[in-house]
Chain A
């Protein structure tokens, strides 16, 4: 069964450094997402991406964050200048196009644990 893969599984970075989290979505999927989960808290939506542009973003997704699909297979999340509170699990997800009346499930990767020291 195809799956979403994320690398690295664990990243440690110093406060103020830039970090890039990488994801390879399922190959025929067209919608891409990033979520995060701070330890002990709920899974929070960050951003959705379709047709090479952001389709929706949450209030968490401020100017420090950016997303990119650089080469047609990878989907990346960049945090420009990390803060201690960015420490969390970051999950990538993808889905097929739902059509106007339908729905298609999101398929999630197993996440990257980001630790900011």
Chain B
């Protein structure tokens, strides 16, 4: 019941911006877009989430298209430590579980 589509893998040069796309064409008005990442076999790490507006925090920026059918996670200056699997998840407001897909494996290269 995947609600999101992500490329399986991407590369990025160290120091450059990493732009990770996500398609969620069937998103509903009350569903949030969340991004998590998993470094090696550690627990998933929360990055950012949004509903309609673009969001920015100390880790990343989230750009959501006006029709909300897709979004992009931006890591402004990728480092080697940003190498991880990145998950884009849609989640209904007030709902509490989180369902993970396969994600995008981002490899940051020196």
Chain A residues with a Cβ under 8 A of chain B: 4, 31, 33, 35, 37, 42-45, 48, 50, 55-56, 89, 91, 93, 95, 98-103, 105-111, 113
Q: Which of B10-18, B72-80, B88-96 contacts A (4 or more CB under 8 A)?
A: B88-96
A99, A108, A111: residue with the most chain B Cβ atoms closer than 10 Å = A108
Contacts of B98 in A (CB 8 A): 33, 45, 93, 106
Given contacts A98-B93, A103-B93, contact A43 B44 (CB under 8 A): yes
**Main SS of the interface on chain A?**
strand
Given contacts A103-B91, A106-B46, contact A111 B96 (CB under 8 A): no
Chain B residues with a Cβ under 8 A of chain A: 30, 32, 34, 38, 41-46, 49, 51, 87, 91, 93-103
Contacts of B99 in A (CB 8 A): 45
Q: Check B44 against A108 for contact (C-beta < 8 Å).
A: yes
Given contacts A103-B49, A105-B34, contact A91 B44 (CB under 8 A): yes
Contacts of A108 in B (CB 8 A): 43-46
List 26 interface pairs A-B (beta carbons < 8 Å), by A numbering: A35-B100, A42-B100, A42-B102, A42-B103, A43-B87, A44-B100, A45-B97, A45-B98, A50-B96, A56-B97, A89-B41, A93-B43, A101-B30, A101-B93, A102-B94, A103-B49, A103-B91, A103-B93, A103-B94, A105-B34, A105-B49, A106-B44, A106-B46, A108-B43, A110-B43, A111-B43
Q: Check B101 against A42 for contact (C-beta < 8 Å).
A: yes
Q: Check A91 against B43 for contact (C-beta < 8 Å).
A: yes
Cβ-closest chain B residue relative to A111: B43
Q: Check A98 against B94 for contact (C-beta < 8 Å).
A: yes
Q: Check B41 against A111 for contact (C-beta < 8 Å).
A: yes
Query: Considering the chains assembled together, what is the distance between the CA atoms of A84 and B98 in angstroms?
Result: 26
Measured CB to CB, the closest approach of chain B to A66, in angstroms, equals 18
Given contacts A103-B91, A103-B93, contact A111 B42 (CB under 8 A): yes
